[in-house]
């Protein structure tokens, strides 16, 4: 099991209702796990807790058997996160940003050149990586963020609405890469509003409402004989 979320509860204010309430779910190697919910359901909060960005009060999150609370560096070494809004270092060029990440993850010169070249070509960014990130469009920033996450070949890739802002070519390429990664033993945990994408792409799915898990399991278990959209609406309206 690559990701175990056990009884996660997160409150932003001491007295407020929890944004995520006693959430438990598991992601195995080879899974493309879709995390679905309405706006403000607690998806991003969960993803940010998983990646060690947010502290949380109750429960635990284990990545490859290690707790994000007690062994954050070990967890972060095998995880990469792509946020919904690609707020990257705007004063760096795309290439300098990727070099920075490669240094942080300790990639060799050979390996970083090979992987950056490969993904830059896939996402049609080879001739744009010399530009300042601050001067790039939203979609281009998103592509740089994705390349930055992929060069390290993470065991767990966490993404928040990864397809928003991507052009159709990049969107298709990302889906292909997600399949390749899971075939090689990595796991992908991502949130999305686009239920058609989730239905086609994911083998597992979880639905969250007001911080509470409504359903979780394989795609077939969750949707039954109806579409994911119908299943989602049924669960949400209960």
Rounded Cα gap, residues 168 and 92, in angstroms: 27
Instruction: Report how far apart, in Å, the C-alpha atoms of 160 and of each of 46, 154, 169 are.
Output: 10, 16, 19
52's tokens:
């060690």
The least distance separating other proteins from the CB of residue 132, rounded to whole angstroms, comes to 6
DSSP collapsed to 3 states, 71-132: CHHHHHHCEEEECCCCCCCCCCEHHHHHHHHHHHCCCCHHHHHHHHHHHHHHCCCCCCCCCE
The least distance separating other proteins from the CB of residue 89, rounded to whole angstroms, comes to 6
The least distance separating other proteins from the CB of residue 15, rounded to whole angstroms, comes to 7
Q: Which is nearer to other proteins, 78 or 197 (CB)?
A: 78
Q: Which is nearer to other proteins, 48 or 209 (CB)?
A: 48
Rounded to 5°, angle at Cα 23 from 29 and 201: 40
The least distance separating other proteins from the CB of residue 109, rounded to whole angstroms, comes to 5
Rounded to 5°, angle at Cα 110 from 105 and 112: 40
Other C-beta atoms within 10 Å of 175: how many?
A: 16
Residues that bind other proteins (CB under 8 A): 13-16, 48, 51-53, 55, 72-74, 76-77, 79, 81, 83, 85, 87-93, 95-96, 99-109, 112-113, 116-117, 120, 126-132, 134-135
Q: Which is nearer to other proteins, 70 or 184 (CB)?
A: 70
The least distance separating other proteins from the CB of residue 79, rounded to whole angstroms, comes to 8
Q: Which is nearer to other proteins, 89 or 200 (CB)?
A: 89
Q: Which is nearer to other proteins, 111 or 235 (CB)?
A: 111
């Amino acid at each position: 099991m690559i990701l175990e979320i056990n009884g996660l509860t997160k409150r932003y204010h001491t007295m407020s209702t929890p944004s995520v309430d006693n959430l438990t779910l598991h992601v195995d190697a080879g899974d493309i796990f879709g995390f679905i919910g309405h706006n403000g359901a607690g998806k991003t909060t969960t993803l940010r807790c998983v990646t060690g960005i947010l502290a949380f009060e109750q429960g635990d999150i284990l990545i490859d058997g290690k707790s994000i609370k007690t062994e954050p560096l070990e967890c972060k070494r095998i995880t990469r996160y792509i946020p919904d809004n690609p707020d990257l270092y705007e004063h760096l060029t795309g290439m300098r940003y990727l070099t920075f990440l490669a240094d942080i993850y300790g990639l060799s010169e050979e390996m970083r050149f090979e992987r950056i070249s490969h993904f830059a070509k896939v996402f049609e960014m080879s001739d744009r990586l010399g530009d300042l990130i601050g001067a790039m469009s939203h979609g281009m920033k998103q592509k740089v963020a994705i390349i930055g996450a992929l060069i390290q070949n993470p065991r767990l890739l966490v993404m928040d609405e990864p397809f928003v802002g991507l052009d159709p070519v990049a969107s298709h390429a990302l889906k292909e890469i997600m399949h390749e990664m899971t075939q090689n033993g990595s796991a992908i945990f991502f949130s999305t509003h686009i239920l058609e994408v989730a239905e086609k792409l994911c083998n597992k799915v979880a639905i969250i409402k007001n911080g509470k898990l409504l359903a979780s399991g394989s795609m077939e278990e969750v949707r039954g004989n109806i579409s994911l959209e119908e299943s989602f609406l049924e669960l949400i309206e209960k």
